[in-house]
Amino acid sequence: MIEDQPAISSSSRFNRLRNWLSLAGMVLCVSAAFAFILLFAVDLFATHANPYMGILAYVVAPMFFFMGLALVLGGYFLESRRIRKGVPRKENAFVLNVDLSRKRDRRLMVGFVGGSLGFLMLTAFGSYETYHLMETNSFCGETCHTPMEPEYKAYQHSAHAQVDCVACHIGPGTTAYIRTKLNGVKQMYHQILGDYDRPIQILNPNLRLAQETCQTCHWSQKHFGDVPKTFRHYLADEENTPFTVHMILKVGGSDPVHGPVEGIHSHMNVSNKIEFISLDEHREEIPWVRVTDANGKSTEYRTEKFTDDISKHVIRTMDCMDCHNRPAHKFLSPNDAVDQAMAMGRIDVSIPWAKSNIVKALAAPYSTREEAQQKIAESLRAEYKDDKRVDSLVAEVGKIYATNFFPEMKADWRAHPDHIGHKDNNGCFRCHDGMHMASDGKTSIKGSDCNACHLIVAQGAGEELEKVNRKGFDFFHVDSEYSEPNCAECHNGEIQKE
Ligand code: HEC
Ligand code: HEC
Ligand code: HEC
Ligand code: HEC
Ligand code: HEC
Ligand code: HEC
Note whether residue 345 is domain-resident: yes
Q: Is the CB of 490 under 6 A from ligand 6?
A: yes
Asked whether residue 5 carries a pLDDT value surpassing 60, the answer given is no
Cβ burial 149-183 (10 Å sphere, 16+ → b, else e): bbbbbbbeeeebeeeebbbbbbbeeeebbebbbeb
Is residue 67 domain-shared with residue 119, that is, in the same domain? yes
Using CA positions, which residue lies closest to atom 39 of ligand 6?
487
The backbone region for 263, taken as left when phi is positive above 0, alpha when psi lies in -120 to 50, beta otherwise, is left
Using CA positions, which residue lies closest to atom 35 of ligand 1?
141
Largest CA distance in the chain: 105
Is residue 298 domain-shared with residue 441, that is, in the same domain? yes
Q: Which of 360, 385, 409 is the last residue of a domain?
A: 409
Q: What's the residue count for the chain?
A: 498
Residue type, 365: P
Q: Cα(432) to centroid of ligand 4, in Å?
A: 6
Q: Cα(434) to centroid of ligand 6, in Å?
A: 20
Asked whether residue 189 carries a pLDDT value surpassing 70, the answer given is no
Is residue 368 domain-shared with residue 341, that is, in the same domain? yes
Average the pLDDT over each of 8-12, 70-74, 178-182, 229-233 and give the range with the smallest value: 8-12
Note whether residue 217 is domain-resident: no
Q: Cα(256) to centroid of ligand 2, in Å?
A: 23
Cα 277 to Cα 287, 302, 313, 314, 441: the distances in Å are 7, 10, 7, 6, 19
Task: State how far the Cα of 150 lies from the Cα of 199, in Å rounded to an integer.
Answer: 9
Note whether residue 496 is domain-resident: no
Q: Which of 456, 446, 403, 366 is nearest to 158 (CA)?
A: 403
Q: Cα(329) to centroid of ligand 1, in Å?
A: 6
Q: What pLDDT is stored for residue 394 in this prediction?
A: 97
Task: State how far the Cα of 112 lies from the Cα of 105, in Å rounded to an integer.
Answer: 10
How confident is the model over 171-185, as a mean pLDDT? 61
Name, in order, each residue with C-beta under 8 angstroms of 256's C-beta and a sequence gap of 6 or more: 271
Q: What pLDDT is stored for residue 382 in this prediction?
A: 96
Is residue 291 domain-shared with residue 397, that is, in the same domain? no
390-404 helix and 145-155 helix, angle to the nearest 10 degrees: 110
Q: Which among 233, 451, 496 is the best mutation to test ligand 6's pocket, defined by most ligand atoms within 8 Å of the CB?
A: 496
Q: Cα(452) to centroid of ligand 4, in Å?
A: 9
pLDDT in tens, 238-293: 999 999 999 999 999 888 888 888 899 987 666 788 999 999 988 999 999 999 98
Note whether residue 9 is domain-resident: no
Q: Which of 133, 154, 180 is the last residue of a domain?
A: 133
Instruction: Give the CA count within 13 Å in the CB-facing half-sphere of 141.
Output: 18
Provide the domain limits for residue 22: 14-133
Note whether residue 189 is domain-resident: yes
Number of domains observed in the structure of the chain: 4
How confident is the model over 389-399, as a mean pLDDT? 96
58 DSSP assignment: I
How confident is the model over 153-163, as a mean pLDDT? 92
Is residue 295 domain-shared with residue 427, that is, in the same domain? yes
Is residue 403 domain-shared with residue 427, that is, in the same domain? no
Q: Which of 331, 332, 343 is nearest to 244 (CA)?
A: 343
CA of 214, nearest ligand number: 2
pLDDT in tens, 351-378: 999 999 999 999 999 999 999 999 999 9
Q: Which of 430, 434, 364, 428 is nearest to 397 (CA)?
A: 364
Task: State how far the Cα of 244 lies from the Cα of 475, in Å rounded to an integer.
Answer: 11
SS (H, E, C) 246-297: EEEEEEEECCCCCCCCECHHHHCCCCCEEEEECCCCCCCCCCEEEEECCCCC
Q: Is the CB of 224 under 6 A from ligand 3?
A: yes
Strand, coil or helix: what is 478? coil
Is residue 277 domain-shared with residue 401, that is, in the same domain? no
CA of 324, nearest ligand number: 2
Q: What pLDDT is stored for residue 206 in this prediction?
A: 66
Q: Are 98 and 2 in contact (CB under 8 A)?
A: yes
Note whether residue 261 is domain-resident: yes
Q: Which among 138, 158, 202 is the best mutation to test ligand 1's pocket, defined by most ligand atoms within 8 Å of the CB?
A: 202
Using CA positions, which residue lies closest to atom 40 of ligand 3?
320
Q: What pLDDT is stored for residue 115 in this prediction?
A: 86
Is residue 439 domain-shared with residue 360, that is, in the same domain? no
Residue type, 339: D
**Mean pLDDT, the chain, integer:** 85
Q: What pLDDT is stored for residue 193 in this prediction?
A: 66
Note whether residue 283 is domain-resident: yes
Using CA positions, which residue lies closest to atom 28 of ligand 2?
327
Q: What pLDDT is stored for residue 130 in this prediction?
A: 76
Note whether residue 5 is domain-resident: no
Is residue 307 domain-shared with residue 425, that is, in the same domain? yes
Asked whether residue 9 carries a pLDDT value surpassing 50, the answer given is no
> Which phi and psi (to 5°) does residue 156 adopt?
-65, -10
Is residue 323 domain-shared with residue 429, that is, in the same domain? yes
Task: State how far the Cα of 30 lies from the Cα of 190, in Å rounded to an integer.
Answer: 30
Task: State how far the Cα of 52 lies from the Cα of 183, in Å rounded to an integer.
Answer: 8
Q: Cα(431) to centroid of ligand 3, in Å?
A: 17
Is residue 289 domain-shared with residue 154, that is, in the same domain? no
Task: State how far the Cα of 25 lies from the Cα of 254, in Å rounded to an integer.
Answer: 63
Q: Are 278 and 266 in contact (CB under 8 A)?
A: no
Asked whether residue 6 carries a pLDDT value surpassing 50, the answer given is no
Instruction: Give the CA count within 13 Å in the CB-facing half-sphere of 68.
Output: 17
Task: State how far the Cα of 426 lies from the Cα of 432, in Å rounded to an integer.
Answer: 9
Task: State how far the Cα of 364 lies from the Cα of 208, in Å rounded to an integer.
Answer: 31
Is residue 41 domain-shared with residue 126, that is, in the same domain? yes
Q: Is the CB of 229 under 6 A from ligand 5?
A: yes
Q: Enumerate residues lining ligand 1, CB below 6 A.
A: 137, 140-141, 148, 151-152, 155, 160, 163, 165, 167-169, 200-202, 208-209, 321, 325, 327-329, 416
Q: Cα(495) to centroid of ligand 2, in Å?
A: 31
